Chain A
Amino acid sequence: MEGKIIVVTSGKGGVGKTTATASIGAALALEGNRVAVIDMDIGLRNLDVVLGLENRIVFNIVDVVNKRCNLSQALIRDRRIENLFLVPASQSDNKDVLTPLGVQRVAKQLKSEFDYVIMDSPAGIEKGFENSVVAADEAIVICTPDVSSIRDADRVIGLLYARSITPRLVVNRIIPEMVARGDMLSHEDVMDVLSIDLLGLVPMDDQVVVSTNTGMPLVMQNQSLAGQAFRRIAKRINGEPEIPIQVPTAMKTGFWSKITQKLGLTK
């Protein structure tokens, strides 16, 4: 059976595409799927670092598309998670070195070998975006609860529909305390404008940075709320759509924070 190609995209930069690609890819592999994550951000490769695989790169996606190597030579196997593979971006080229036709050819091959192929798209809606969505069966749009990210996500959603790809939404970097205070848009506000299927809500979580720096997959850190959210997202993708969406809530005030509040150490 053929696998599925899922593009992760956002329009705006820095909202969590690479984090989501790495986490959802890892979580899908932990569920027992054969997964390839592809870094389509040519010239600004990141996914290898987030997955802690940067030292093992020999070939990259540009080499594969331009037939300088076989797909199998460019696939890097993750050591901790079985069945998780990375095809890195090249750091030296620019985005024009790939053509949609070339990407489609490689995508077809990837589809025949993997259950899920997840493409980490670059920011923007130009050539790099084009190359990332050309072979996609599905799309995950990442946005953060702020006006400019929503605006860009909306633009991308329109472009995806124009290509007959139905996108689903992940709202990332939610800070429940700010939402409760009314200082951050709630996911309902975001949904009001974007009105597409919601795939998951991911809270702001310091563990994301820790995981990037240590190369330890977020979804393997059991205490990480963002990691848990991505695992639920992966389950929803992987045939369990009924898993309820959990809305990130403010942390219960623990003993120590109460003490520090009393001492006037926090506001």
Chain B
Amino acid sequence: MEKSLVTNEISAVKLRGVGDGFKLTLDPTMPEEVILKEITALFEPLKHLSVNTKVVLDIGNVQGYDNLIRDIKFLLKSRFDVGGVIQHSEKISGVGKDSGSTINHRSNSNKDNSRGWVTDRSDALILTGRVRSGQKIETQSHLIIAGNVNPGAELTAGGNIIVLGALLGQVYAGYPDDEYAFVMALDFRPTQVQIGGVVSIEINSEFVGKPVFATVKDNKIITEDYIKTQPFGKIQWPTVM
């Protein structure tokens, strides 16, 4: 079944994050140089993540290809400093049952998410500094502010808003109507929050000084203690936002 998934791919190599490492699935019948080139292209943007990680190599139920496997191992270790490369075997495939189910889960969605976080782009406007009263920042993408947002300042983003600092101004995430957007701040004391079409009436202040995560639930803006709730803890592999 995994084999069919591989051969259905247009590219020779597939990469995804599994647990604390990566799983590299490839079609060994493709020319070696193509395979090595694709592996390089996939790992290059992840260099900082791949150091000392474990890579499971899955070439399907075929024999031989020892030279290919040796070359791949050499490439991953020498160029990307991975911790170890193990070949997908019966034993591992037992463990890999889990990841098998994640494949099924994902194949339910119409998009191929198994490589999504490698090939998709995520747009964010990332700014640093203090946003002062009367200043407005508007973007169609996500917005990240490394700094404070003062009372009287306004942030509007088509996507999510993350403030690495104190949020005391007014924010509008998911503009104009994306109610799946969220707002997050290390110190969450905004004067007003709007997500999609939902406006907060009164902002919960029980989490003063704590990182807070605000989303829309039942047509209301709900705030939660980010560290306690870990809203993204359930997402098991890096996913494009």
| Interface check B132, CB cutoff 8 A | yes
Q: How far is the CA of A250 from the CA of B168 in the complex (A)?
A: 30
Q: Is the CB of A157 within 8 A of B151?
A: no
Closest B residue, CB atoms, query A153? B133
Q: Could you tell me if B151 and A193 are in contact, using CB atoms closer than 8 angstroms?
A: yes
Whether A155 contacts B130 by the Cβ 8 Å rule is: no
Residues from chain A with a CB closer than 8 A to the CB of B132 are 154-155, 157-158
Closest to A195 in B: B130
Most chain A CB neighbours (cut-off 10 Å) among B133, B151, B168: B133
For window 186-207 of A, CB contacts with B under 8 Å fall at 193, 195
Judged by a CB distance under 8 angstroms, whether A111 is at the interface is no
Q: Are A151 and B130 in contact (CB under 8 A)?
A: no
Residues in B whose Cβ lies below 8 Å from that of A195:
130, 148
Q: Could you tell me the distance between the alpha carbons of A158 and B134 in the complex, rounded to whole angstroms? A: 8
**Majority SS of interface residues in chain A?**
helix
Q: Are B133 and A152 in contact (CB under 8 A)?
A: yes
Q: Nearest residue in A to B168 (C-beta to C-beta)?
A: A193
A147 at interface by CB-CB < 8 Å: yes
Most buried by B among A152, A193, A195: A193
Q: How far is the CA of A147 from the CA of B133 in the complex (A)?
A: 12
Q: Are B135 and A151 in contact (CB under 8 A)?
A: no
Query: Which A residues, 231 to 260, have Cβ-Cβ distances below 8 Å to chain B?
Result: none
Interface digits, B150-183 against A, CB 8 Å rule (1 contact, 0 not)? 1110000000000000001000000000000000
**What range describes how many residues of A lie at the interface?**
10 to 19
Closest to B147 in A: A195
Q: Which of A151, A152, A159 has the most chain B CB atoms inside 10 A of its CB?
A: A151
Assembly CA distance A132 to B133 (angstroms)? 21
A-chain residues with CB within 8 Å of residue B133 when the two chains form the complex:
151-152, 154-155, 158
B130: chain A residues at CB < 8 Å are 195
Choose among B130, B132, B148, B151 the residue with the greatest number of A CB atoms under 10 Å from its CB. Answer: B132
Which residue on B lies nearest to A193, using beta carbons?
B150
| Contact of B168 with A158 in the complex, beta carbons under 8 Å | no
Give the nearest-CB partner of A161 in chain B: B132
CB distance from B163 to the nearest CB of A (A): 15
Q: Which residue of A lies closest to B134 (CB)?
A: A155
Shortest distance between the CB of A188 and any CB in chain B (Å): 14
The contact of B151 among A154, A158, A159, by CB within 8 Å, is A154
Interchain CA distance A155-B150 in the complex, whole Å: 10
In whole angstroms, what is the CA distance A152 to B151 when docked? 10
**Residues in chain B within 8 A of chain A (CB atoms):** 130, 132-135, 148, 150-152, 168
7 contacts between A and B (CB under 8 A): A150-B151, A154-B132, A154-B134, A154-B150, A155-B132, A158-B132, A193-B150
Other A-B contacts than A154-B132, A195-B130, 7 sampled, CB-CB below 8 A, are A151-B151, A154-B133, A154-B134, A155-B134, A155-B152, A193-B168, A195-B148
